[in-house]
Amino acid sequence: MIRLKESILVERSLNYVFEYTSDFSHIQAWDPGVVSSVRVNQKKIGVGSQYDLVLKFGPFRPKMKYEIIEYVPFSRIVLKGVGESFTAMDTIVFTKTAIATQIDYQADIRFHRFGNLIEKLLFPVMKKTGEKAMAGLEQKLAGTRGLPNKAMWFKSGSGLPDYLADHLIIPGMILFSRFGYALGKRFWSEPKGVLYGKKIVLTGGTSGIGKAAAFKLAEKKAFLTIIARNRVKAEQVRHEIVEKTGNPHIDVLIADLSLMHEIREVSEALKASKKNIDILINNAGALFNERKNTPEGLEQTFATDLLGVFLLTQYLKDALAASESPRIINVSSGGMYTQKIEVNDLENSQGQYNGAKAYARAKRGVVILTQIWAEQFKTHGIRVNAMHPGWVDTPGIERSLPGFHERVKRILRTPEQGADTIVWLATSKRAGQYTGLFWLDRRPHETIIFPGTCESAQERQTLWEKLNAFASKG
C-alpha cells in the first residue's frame, strides 16, 4: 500500500473551502492527474455522491469511479476510488485556524495484479502527483489562475520521465494509429438507444470519415442532412445510405463551404425549414498543398477549415438552441498539436506557404473556437466538443500527403474507426454531459503539448474579433 499525506493552509473561510473542495465534479481544475470528472448522480452532495473520473498516467488514461462514503459538513470527507488495477481511500480533513483554513489530505492506494510488485517504484511518482494536486487546490482557493511555468513543473511536478511520456511525439503517434484505436476500444461500452427523430446536420459527408459517420448515424435512425459541394456525388451517397440502412430520412444540401455566400444560403435554407437542429457536425475540411484564393478573395485553407466552420455555426446557433439537448461536434486534427494560431496571419500570406502547417493552424483555431463556444453557449444548453480521428486512410490524405500516406499506410485507421468518436459524441448520454473538451477514441485529451503552441487570452480575443470581421463582409 502507498500512503500519501499533504497539508495546505489557505486564507479563505472554512465554509467556502469545504463547499468548493467537496464538489469533485471540477477536481480536474486543480488536480493535474485528473483529465475529467463527471458527477453520476445529481442529488445533493453527500454520502453516496458518485463521480466518473478519467485519470492521466503517462500516455494512458485509466478510469476510476469515485464515491463519497463519509461526509461531515465543514469537517471531514472520505472517498473511495475504484479503478481497473487499484483502489484508493482518500480522507480530507478541514480545520479552522485563527487566520485561515487548514486542509489535511491522506490517500491510501492499493494496487492489484502486478502493481503491488512495483509500489516502491511508483511511490515517488504518486507522491509528486499528490503534491501537485494540493498545490493546484491551494492555487485555486487563493483565487489565482493559470498553470505553473515550466520551471515550476520540473521543480514540483512529476519530473522528466512523466513529462517525456506525456509530451513526446512517439506515444502520440501510437495512439493516433490503428493500434491506439484497438487499445482505446478495450475500455468502451457501446451507447444504448437510437437517434430516431434527432435532426443532424453533417458537413463533408460524401467521402472518408464524414461518409463513415453518415452511415453510422443513419443506422441509428437519425434525420440526417448532409451538406456537400458536389450534387451528383451527394445524391449517390444519399441513395447508397438509404438503400443500405433502410433510413429514408436522409437529404442533401449543396454548398461550397469555402464560399461564405454559399454558407449563408445553405444556412437560410436550413432555418427556413422551421426545424430545430439537434446536432451540428462540422466535419468538412481540406488540406491544400498550394496557396490559392477563393473567388471571394480569401485564402482557401483559412476559408474552408476555419472561417467556414465559424460562420456556419454562428448562423445555426439559434436553431440549435431551440432543441432539447443540442450538441456541436467539431472535427479537428492531431496535427494541430504542432502549431500555434497565428492571429496576424490567418490567411497564411507570410513566408513560404506550407499546406500541412496552414491546415494545422486552422484546426488549432477550431479547437480554440470550441472552447469559446462551450463557454458562450452554456446559457443555451448547447454542448460543444472537438475531436480528432487519429491517422485515417482517406482519399484526401492519400492525395494531399502522398509521402506520409506511403510511409504509414500499414498502421492507418479505417474511416469507420476515425468516425467512431464523432458518432459516440452524437449518441452517448455520457458525452452529453461534457462541453469544451478535445476527444480521441472517446477520451478527452490535452490541447497543448508542445511549448509555444498555447495562445494568450489576448490572442483568443483577437481571433474572435477577426473572424467576426471576416464574417460580416459581403
Q: Which CATH number fits the domain that encloses residue 374? A: 3.40.50.720
Nearest residue to 298 via CA among 267, 259, 262: 259
CATH code for the domain in which residue 14 is found: 3.30.530.20
- 170 in a domain, yes or no? no
Q: Work out the angle at residue 266's Cα, subtended by the Cα atoms of residues 264 and 269, and round it to the nearest 5 degrees.
A: 110
Q: How far is CA 467 from CA 27, 409, 424, in A?
A: 33, 36, 29
pLDDT of residue 173: 62
Q: How far apart are CA 110 and CA 452, in angstroms?
A: 38
Q: How many domains does the chain have?
A: 2
- 34 in a domain, yes or no? yes
Mean pLDDT is lowest, of 209-223, 301-315, 441-455, for 441-455
What is the value of pTM for the model shown?
0.67
Residue 332 C-alpha cell reads as 479537428
Do residues 244 and 219 touch, judged by C-beta distance below 8 A? no
Number of other residues whose CB lies within 10 A of the CB of residue 440 = 21
Domain shared by 116 and 234, yes or no: no
Domain shared by 142 and 198, yes or no: no
Residue with the bigger pLDDT between 256 and 60: it is 256
Active-site annotation holds for 105 = no
Give percent of the chain with pLDDT exceeding 70.
Answer: 88
Residue with the bigger pLDDT between 86 and 155: it is 86
* Domain span including residue 107: 2-165
Domain shared by 195 and 258, yes or no: yes
Mean pLDDT is lowest, of 14-23, 179-188, 260-269, 462-471, for 179-188
Do residues 326 and 357 touch, judged by C-beta distance below 8 A? no
Q: How far apart are CA 425 and CA 325, in angstroms?
A: 12
Residue 433 C-alpha cell reads as 454531459
Q: How far apart are CA 14 and CA 78, in angstroms?
A: 17
Q: Is the pLDDT of residue 394 over 60?
A: yes
Domain shared by 6 and 146, yes or no: yes
- Catalytic entry in 105, 181, 359, 434: 359
Mean pLDDT is lowest, of 2-16, 322-336, 389-403, 422-436, for 389-403
Domain shared by 256 and 202, yes or no: yes
Domain shared by 259 and 350, yes or no: yes
Q: What is the pLDDT of residues 21-42, one digit of tens each?
A: 998 888 988 888 888 888 888 6
- 127 in a domain, yes or no? yes
Q: Is the pLDDT of residue 146 over 60?
A: no
pLDDT of residue 287: 93
Domain shared by 161 and 185, yes or no: no
Q: What is the pLDDT of residues 352-369, one digit of tens each?
A: 999 999 999 999 999 999
Q: How far apart are CA 123 and CA 2, in angstroms?
A: 7
pLDDT of residue 192: 62
- 171 in a domain, yes or no? no
Q: How far apart are CA 425 and CA 281, in angstroms?
A: 10
Domain shared by 158 and 132, yes or no: yes
Q: How far is CA 71 from CA 106, 146, 204, in A?
A: 15, 30, 51
User: Of 103, 138, 165, which residue sits at a domain end?
Assistant: 165
Q: Work out the angle at residue 353's Cα, subtended by the Cα atoms of residues 349 and 358, and round it to the nearest 5 degrees.
A: 85
- 186 in a domain, yes or no? yes
Domain shared by 91 and 160, yes or no: yes
User: Of 130, 165, 200, which residue sits at a domain end?
Assistant: 165
Domain shared by 115 and 216, yes or no: no
Give the chain's largest Cα–Cα span.
Answer: 76
- 244 in a domain, yes or no? yes
User: Of 165, 196, 231, which residue sits at a domain end?
Assistant: 165
- 122 in a domain, yes or no? yes
- 172 in a domain, yes or no? no
Q: What is the pLDDT of residues 199-249, one digit of tens each?
A: 999 999 999 999 999 999 999 999 999 999 999 999 999 999 999 999 999
Distance in angstroms between the alpha carbons of the first and the last residue of the chain: 66
Domain shared by 149 and 188, yes or no: no
Domain shared by 296 and 333, yes or no: yes
Residue 461 C-alpha cell reads as 480575443
Q: Is the pLDDT of residue 147 over 80?
A: no
